[in-house]
Amino acid sequence: MASTVEYGDVEYDDVESGSAENGSIAYDYVVVGGGTAGSVIASRLTENPDISVAVIEGGPSDVDRPDVLTLRRWMGLLGGDLDYDYPTTVQPRGNSHIRHSRARVLGGCSSHNTLIAFKPLPSDWDEWAAAGAEGWDAASMDPYFGRLRNNVVPVDELDRNAIARDFVDAAQAALGVPRVEGFNKKPFHEGTGFFDLAYHPENNKRSSASVAYLHPFLDRPNLHLLLETWAFRLELDGTRATGVRVRTADGAERLITARTEVLVCAGAVDTPRLLMHSGIGPRADLEALGIPVTHDLPGVGENLLDHPESVIVWETDGPIPENSAMDSDAGLFVRRDPEIEGPDLMFHFYQIPFTDNPERLGYERPEHGVSMTPNIPKPRSRGRLYLTSADPQTKPALDFRYFTDEDDYDGRTLVDGIKIARQVAASEPLAHWLKREVAPGPEVTSDEELSAYARSVAHTVYHPAGTCRMGAVDDEQAVVAPDLKIRGLEGIRIADASVFPTMPAVNPMIGVLMVGEKCAELLTGASGTRGADRTTGADKATGVDKTTGAAGAAGTSGTA
């Protein structure tokens, strides 16, 4: 009998479970990372009762964790004990104080973010195909959205704050953009409205990857969740990946062996980090740190992408109503260039004064306020992730190179964003709520001043991607081929945001879920040949979790 770790009413396997082979612990598939894509893949593979799957997750369960499962509490998770909290290197043209939140909990960043849920636009997928990701065009990818188990719905009427409603009306009046009800109903170029979220409005519970894909199936005997177990090195036999070296919470080291494949789903930071500590990456960089090179792959860690944003803050004329799904429920997309397919500016409307970065410059946080965050959907700057030590526990360096694109497109986009935000704020019915502009302040008007402010207070919406990008099989800078296999290796694939060749114009969580669904299909064959769907208490059509003993049972009170 395998020993177990208990969380609430649910028992999880520890690393002594599985079958022993040559002193290791063996499963058919080993999934590194129980996050957004990893949850999908593990769930889909274990639909076949003859396939055993181990999920290696560095954090604890989200079961019976209202601090995790209650969507509106997302900001309380930033920088906490469930956050890997990666710093950014010095940014000569941007904010050097940005910290990138990466979740250390079952469900990954879908247990940690705002769950804003956009299907990537057709132009996003077609851009991937044009970059060499054959089979990832919009027509090929669209069916995977329909397979998602998550409960993706527009912000509920009861969660629609009065000031957010007036923001939407003001944006429509000021800019002439269409009002959108359900951003996932059809592709859009621009528009304003309330977001779609992956949540359950009746109790503000997340419909994260873990809630939708793992919680209903925790009784599957072939699904093994190895929690608080940290993967620090891949095991290779020549060019074939055979398993993963892990460290458990008590400091013990084990080898977890994969009979069929290792699936790396650790995210855009920890996937390239794990590869490089396993000797897979740019030869010169690894040799400089004394890491033995097992496979020279120059693209690992390159092409670091993000959605940078700035912020403009207003003090409101008194408090605003309390109701909200997660305090940033509405937004705006603008297309300045009519020649492009999708939007080139995005705004989140925060029902709080979002002044963390402006305060460092001397701005004061008002007692009551709101914010707009102009965001760059298609940034042109490209960064790099690299190791600074051969010690796997040392955090990697994240150099996003914000605002370093040759034509300063990214910087100019934020300047335009602040100007457009001011247009919306000056329009009714939003204008009567606002007492004064706090940051940058109405006296800051020139493009040069606005650019300096926008870049110095720039932040992230926690969307790192691209560090193991997908491309054609003959693309030497691509880390994975269109089948998600690592170039030059066998028995290993990557499925997470690191494989993104380019950044989608929208929040990427749904895109990562769809990557997980496609990876599962690549592993098991066409959807019609999957094992029987052993659903036990989940409504497949809606993704609603109806189990008991799993996280977030009825009564749970109430970041992408």
**Which CATH number do you get for residue 178?**
3.30.410.40
- Regarding whether 118 and 172 lie in a shared domain, the answer is no
Nearest Cα to Cα of residue 47 among 549, 534, 541: 534
Burial class (CB in 10 A: 0-12, 13-18, 19+), 85: middle
Q: What is the pLDDT of residue 534?
A: 33
Instruction: Tell me the CA distances in angstroms from 475 to 124, 157, 300, 503, 518, one per residue in order.
Output: 20, 48, 13, 19, 21
The first and second tokens of residue 343, run together, are 């939007």
Strands 229-237 and 434-439 come out as: unpaired
Range(s) of the domain holding residue 319: 156-194+308-378+404-457
Domain end (from 442, 457, 472): 457
553 found inside a domain: no
Q: Looking at 457, 474, 502, which one is the last position of a domain?
A: 457
369 and 279 together in one domain: no
CATH code of 107's domain = 3.50.50.60
Q: Are both 278 and 326 inside the same structural domain? A: no
User: Is 538 within the bounds of a domain?
Assistant: no
Ranges of residues in the chain with a pLDDT under 70 are 1-23, 526-560
Is 89 within the bounds of a domain? no
Tokens of 90: 């010095």
Note the pLDDT of residue 12: 62
Residue from 2, 42, 526 nearest 261 by CA: 42
The answer to whether 41 touches 265, Cβ cutoff 8 Å, is yes
Q: 3-class DSSP state for residue 462?
A: coil
CA-based nearest residue to 48, from 216, 223, 212: 223
Residue 535 domain flag: no
Where is the domain boundary, 413, 439, 457? 457
Q: How far is CA 210 from CA 33, 131, 256, in A?
A: 11, 31, 22
pLDDT at 526: 43
166 within domain boundaries: yes
295 in active site: no
Measure the CA dihedral 453/454/455/460, to 10°: 140
Closest CA to 506 of 183, 209, 85: 183
> How confident is the model at residue 548, as a pLDDT?
25
447 with 500, same domain: the answer is: no
- 260 & 388 share domain: yes
Helix (H, G, I), strand (E, B) or coil at 497: helix
pTM of the model: 0.92
Asked whether residue 143 falls in the same domain as residue 107, the answer is: yes
| H or E segment and range at residue 418 | helix 409-425
Identify whether the C-beta of residue 100 lies closer than 8 Å to the C-beta of residue 464: yes
| Number of domains within the chain | 2
Contact 335, 343 (CB under 8 A): yes
Q: Is there a single domain that holds both residue 252 and residue 128?
A: yes
**Count H helices, E strands: the chain?**
12, 30
Q: Check whether residue 268 and residue 287 sit in a common domain.
A: yes
Q: Are 372 and 385 in the same domain?
A: no
Is residue 280 one of the residues assigned to a domain? yes
Predicted local confidence at residue 525, as pLDDT = 84
**Same domain membership, residue 162 and residue 29:** no
| pLDDT value at residue 539 | 34
Shared-domain flag, residues 63 and 24: yes
Distance CA 206, CA 326 (A): 11
pLDDT at 546: 26
Q: How far apart are CA 463 and CA 348, in angstroms?
A: 14
277 close to 292: Cβ distance less than 8 angstroms: no
305-347 pLDDT, tens digit per residue, is 999 999 999 999 999 999 999 999 999 999 999 999 999 999 9
Q: Closest Cα to residue 100, out of 515, 402, 347, 499?
A: 402
CB 151, CB 543: distance < 8 Å: yes
Indicate which residue of 100, 189, 348, 463 is catalytic: 463
Is residue 385 located within the same domain as residue 274?
yes
Residue 350 lies in a domain: yes
Is 331 in contact with 168 (CB distance < 8 Å)? Answer: no
State the DSSP code for 515. Answer: H
Displacement of CA 151 from its chain's centroid (Å): 17
